[in-house]
A = this chain, B = another copy of it.
Amino acid sequence: MNPKYLRAPAAALMIMSALPVFAGWQALPEVAPAPADNPTTDAKVTLGKMLFMDPRFSSTGTISCNSCHNVMEGGDDSRTFSMGVHGKIGGRNAPTVWNSAFHSVQFWDGRADLLEDQAKGPVTNPVEMGVSEIEQAMDKVRAIPGYKPYFDEAFGKDAMTVDNAAKAVASFERTLITPNSPYDKYVKGDKKAMSAEQVRGMETFAASGCTSCHSGAAFNGPTMEFGQGFYTKFPTFADNEFNKKYDLSADKGREEATGKAADAHMFRVTTLRNITDTAPYFHNGSVNDLSEAVRLMAKTQLNKDLSDKDVQDIVAFLGALTGEYPEIVMPRLPATSGYSLIAD
Contacts and interface: CB of A to CB of B under 8 A. Distances in A.
A310 to B, nearest CB: 16
Interface string A60-89: 111000010011111001111001011110
A199 interface: no
A308 interface: no
Of the four ranges (under 10, 10 to 19, 20 to 34, 35 or more), the interface on chain A belongs to 35 or more
A290 B71 CA distance: 34
Contacts of A257: none
A189 interface: no
A285 B343 CA distance: 8
Contacts of A268: none
A299 to B, nearest CB: 18
Interface in A321-344: 325, 327-333, 335-344
A339 B78 CA distance: 9
How many copies the complex holds: the figure is 2
A288 interface: yes
A78 B331 contact: no
Nearest to A275: B338
A243 interface: no
Contact of A333 (B73, B85, B344): B73
A342 B77 contact: yes
A229 interface: no
Interface of A is mostly: loop
Given A72-B333, A279-B343, A289 B338 contact: yes
Contacts of A318: 338
A45 to B, nearest CB: 15
Contacts of A74: 335
A103 interface: no
Given A62-B79, A87-B87, A276-B335, A328 B325 contact: no
A306 to B, nearest CB: 16
A286 B94 CA distance: 35
A30 to B, nearest CB: 19
Contact of A61 (B62, B77, B341): B77
A70 B331 CA distance: 11
Given A85-B87, A87-B88, A88-B87, A336 B60 contact: no
B60 A83 contact: yes
A277 B289 CA distance: 43
A26 interface: no
Contacts of A296: none
A285 to B, nearest CB: 6
Interface in A141-163: none
Contacts of A80: 342-344
A236 interface: no
Contacts of A60: 79, 83, 87
A184 B288 CA distance: 52
Given A55-B77, A71-B330, A279-B338, 11 more contacts: A56-B73, A60-B83, A61-B79, A62-B83, A72-B330, A73-B335, A80-B343, A279-B339, A279-B343, A327-B329, A328-B330
